[in-house]
Amino acid sequence: MDQEQEEAAPTEITSASSSSVERQVASCSVKRITCSSISISTCSASSTSSTIFDCRVFTRACATIPVGRPANRKSTVAQRDSSGETLDNFVANGSTFQDIISKLWEKFNGWIKAQAVKRNGEWTAVTPSMAEWRKVMKFKRKRHIVDDTQQSEKSSNSWLASVHGEPITLLIYEYSVSIIRDQDLSSFKEACVIRPELTDRADAAAEDSLLEVVAKLQKQWESSFKAEAVVWRMWANHILRNHSQSTLGQAISDPPPDHITRLLRAPESPLSMLSRSAHLALDCVDSSMEDYRKLRQHYDAFGRLLDDHMRSLLSRKRTIDAFIQDLPQLRDNLDDFERGL
């Protein structure tokens, strides 16, 4: 394990995940390591302006843990913490150490791809559970990994209170603490994680394989989920990068990972689709009726203009008639005297 630790703010806990992660919240910094690490900080109400901190926290052996600036994502325990990937800010609090672990597990277990187990020289991959969080997560105090293998709930609560104000790093490992060196990672992936023939040189899924898995995912889950095409591709790529040929079928049948679940939506039932179509048709009719009302208003306005124009013409006609009536009458039978004039 890399023993280097960056200088952190006074109230900091850094956590990392199988890929080291480094984060910062207010005065708290966070790191994550593939061995994943994510940085956490225990803070008091006076150490940050955030209103989430309760002054009673540390008198009850509980802690508020901002998991802030992302940690660097790494592939092995031996990698440097500074090579991490940044995660979004996160705040967890609880009255006991187990409460904190539960919230951290809920938030970050998606970064754990599998738990690597080596028996009789053979690597296997199992799905980790929160009960075995110590096999995929570790705390680091100053330059030393905290030995929590023999800690009880009471001693864990006491330890959490005792490190108040100190920079503590939570390391989260993508494939468990069993992966120490690059050689371990390579042999583990070759044995049970990645199918090399399905990925390119950049470790991305090959297009043909990707489309094949997308089709299988849609066939398996399209009745349960709806999503954009890019989401199905993300899910397929996640499976191809983290599963071997032997576990591919099971991975397709398994529920989606947390970061994919957030992008999925429930499918529409036939009744809801019919209702939506009916409402759409009604909206079209309402829109046409509104257009008709506007046209009717224009028509009525034009009619009023025609009526005004007719009244104007009638008025002029009456004026001309009156003028004609005022003219003297011209007689046709003039006498000779009048003609001589």
Q: What is the pLDDT of residues 129-167, one digit of tens each?
A: 888 888 888 888 777 788 776 678 888 888 877 877 677
- Whole-structure pTM value: 0.46
Round to whole Å and give the CA distance between 126 and 132.
12
Structure tokens at 48: 């940050």
184-236 pLDDT, tens digit per residue, is: 888 887 777 555 555 555 555 578 888 889 999 999 888 888 889 999 999 98
Contacts of residue 146, Cβ cutoff 8 Å, sequence gap at least 6: 138, 139, 140, 159
- Nearest CA to 171 out of 200, 191, 146, 196 is that of 146
pLDDT at residue number 95: 78
8 A C-beta contact, residue 111 and residue 19: yes
Q: CA 75, 112, 98 angle in degrees (round to 5)?
A: 125
Contacts of 191 (CB under 8 A, 6+ apart): 122, 123, 124, 244
Q: Give 143's DSSP letter.
A: T
pLDDT above 50: residue 16? no
The two tokens of residue 313 are 């013409």
Q: What pLDDT band is residue 300 in, cutting at 50, 70 and 90?
A: very high
Distance CA 143, CA 81 (A): 12
pLDDT digits over 86-124, tens only?
Answer: 556 566 677 788 888 888 888 777 777 778 888 888 888
Other beta carbons within 10 Å of 197: 8
More confident residue, 24 or 89: 89
Distance of alpha carbon 157 from alpha carbon 9, whole angstroms: 23
Q: Where are the beta strands (DSSP E) in the chain?
A: 13-17, 21-25, 28-32, 36-41, 63-67, 90-94, 115-119, 122-126, 137-141, 144-145, 167-172
Asked if residue 65 has pLDDT above 60, the reply is no
**CA 233, CA 205: separation in Å to the nearest integer?**
10
The token pair at 141 is 């105090």
Structure tokens at 290: 């509104």
